[in-house]
Amino acid sequence: MAPTDGTEAAGVMDGFTPWPAELAERYTAAGYWSGRLLGGVLRGEPGRTALVAGGERLAYAELDRRADRTAAGFLRLGIRRGDRVVVQLPNTASFVVVFLALVRVGAAPVLALPAHRESEIGYLCELSEARAYVIPDVDGGFDFRKMARGLPVEHVVVDGDAQEFTALADIDTDPEGVPEPPGPADVGVFLLSGGTTGLPKLIPRTHRDYVYNLEASAEVCGFTADTVYLVVLPAAHNFALACPGILGVFAAGGTVVLAPSGSPDEAFPLIERERVTVCAVVPPIALLWLDAVSWSEEDLSSLRLLQVGGAKFAAERAAQVPRVLGCAVQQVFGMAEGLLNYTRLDDPADLVERTQGRPLSPADEIRVVDGDGNDVPPGEVGELLTRGPYTLRGYYRAPAHNARAFTPDGFYRTGDLVRRLPSGHLVVEGREKDQINRGGDKISAEELENHLLAHPSVHDAAVVGMPDPVMGERTCAFLVLRENGRGRAPSLREIKEFLRERGVAAYKFPDRLETAGTFPRTAVGKIDKKALAARLG
């Protein structure tokens, strides 16, 4: 696509949809787009601790040096500005170093989740035409090197024992200067969409829009050099990375502490030891913590703010957080595509408990529309459409999908059903998109159905969410079996094993299996998923 805003780096990234020139000028003139780059987010005092991970404790100066040396290493491998590199690292210092190194080179990390397997990773490598793939050796008992064999990438870079591949430690080299620094309009990073179609989508985030995302978030959330932020969600997820997340902490000069998971056994001792002040969690983790304080012995008194988002957090539970955990709660309704809504630190308790926040930026445009695309009266429920200085204008290399996912004037159709209050706060009332939100993990029904349809006993498949008190939703797969149901029904265990062999991430596995003779259909002949969901007692 031709560059249209005059500052676009022509040819650096095809398949990327730029903002129209007039909007780009407005966002720049208003100061939302500063021209700062993702590689420059390390703004803490050189001697101050930037990162605590496992046994490692890195000062800003040291993290900066390591990022530069690893950037030099990627350049030495031939990775250049405009290239893509699939990064699949757990919450380790290497994730942070590799991320910073790549954005400094101008090669965009494609941020896969540690849970992704051959099915997702193979597709991401192909779609992005990745030049390299960065992995741990073994994590959570899984050997990532095994998965890397046979992938269409030139370089596999391994954090740890590299075997036949390139060791991350070995690419570290003296910087010889960055030959061609990225521009602020370049794509800085690719995030993964939760997905509503058969295949996941890539979300291009430019340096300028993502820097605004993280800086404005850090301001709204009151992050300073005194912030000590605990990461319990995957660092590759937008919430933990930039809302304000790891990068927002760096921009504010604070300290990031990486935890392997949100389990109280791991997180609570770190909160006590590092005097953690803020943490971002999904609702199931918040519920776990609310329970765990009664039996845990750690001192959590340093905690000032618990950010909860990724899925709806019930008002009653939000109200419990200050009483039980002794800190403020903030609801965050965000999406990798861009738009972020935060309850504000000085909002009255009622809004903090009962709403999912209001848009981050004064330049975020919000519409709430009915099925025909007309704005609903104020206060009524409709689909949320949005456009703004950090919301994508198109998925990467997905023109057919983009024609449906965006209005002709560039509003992103979120698929979320919301109600807008006079204060501008949004209440999430449901979802229109065919997706299951399993405790913050997003599962595309169509993607899972396609995998199930490949099973020899399955004639037809429909995946629906079922309400769950802890996860919000769990996944139920309805199957119509071949031979009019006379074939043997596979067990849930067999289906999980089948999906594992196909290389599907485990969080997408169904929690429950039901067989049906036929599927109920809507008037237009589509599977009636509401009627199916109603069958679940």
Question: With contact defined as beta carbons under 8 Å apart, do 144 and 87 qualify?
Answer: no
Q: Which two structure tokens, joined as six digits, stand for 263? A: 């389990």
* Stated length of the chain: 537
Buried b (16+ CB within 10 A) or exposed e, 278-295: bbbbbbbbbbebbebeee
Which residue's CB comes closest to ligand OOB?
334
- Cβ proximity to ligand OOB: between 67 and 247 the closer is 247
- Cβ proximity to ligand OOB: between 17 and 355 the closer is 355
Q: Cβ of residue 386: shortest distance to ligand OOB, in angstroms?
A: 10
Pairing status of strand 132-136 against strand 84-87: parallel
- Cβ proximity to ligand OOB: between 16 and 342 the closer is 342
- Cβ proximity to ligand OOB: between 117 and 413 the closer is 413
Phi, psi dihedrals of residue 326, rounded to the nearest 5°: 75, 20
- Rounded-to-integer distance, Cα 344 and Cα 58, Å: 31
- Cβ proximity to ligand OOB: between 336 and 481 the closer is 336
Classified as helix, coil or strand, 401 is helix
| Amino acid (one-letter) located at 52 | V
- Cβ proximity to ligand OOB: between 262 and 334 the closer is 334
Classified as helix, coil or strand, 22 is helix
- Cβ proximity to ligand OOB: between 218 and 335 the closer is 335
Q: Which two structure tokens, joined as six digits, stand for 136? A: 């741990």
Element (DSSP H or E) covering residue 473: strand 472-481
Give the residue among 298, 323, 434, 155 at the shortest CA–CA distance from 306. Answer: 323
Using the structure block, give the residue that is written with the tokens 């776990």: 288
- Rounded-to-integer distance, Cα 22 and Cα 27, Å: 9
Q: Cβ of residue 243: shortest distance to ligand OOB, in angstroms?
A: 4
Q: Cβ of residue 238: shortest distance to ligand OOB, in angstroms?
A: 4
Question: With contact defined as beta carbons under 8 Å apart, do 411 and 159 qualify?
Answer: no
Q: Cβ of residue 429: shortest distance to ligand OOB, in angstroms?
A: 9
| DSSP letter for each residue of 71-92 | HHHHHHHT--TT-EEEE---SS
Phi, psi dihedrals of residue 343, rounded to the nearest 5°: -70, 145
Classified as helix, coil or strand, 452 is helix
Give the residue among 445, 427, 458, 469 at the shortest CA–CA distance from 532. Answer: 445
Question: With contact defined as beta carbons under 8 Å apart, do 109 and 501 qualify?
Answer: no
Q: Binding residues for ligand OOB, per CB under 6 A?
A: 194, 238-239, 243, 309-312, 331-336, 340, 356, 414, 416, 428, 431, 437, 440, 442
308 DSSP β-pair partners = 281, 331
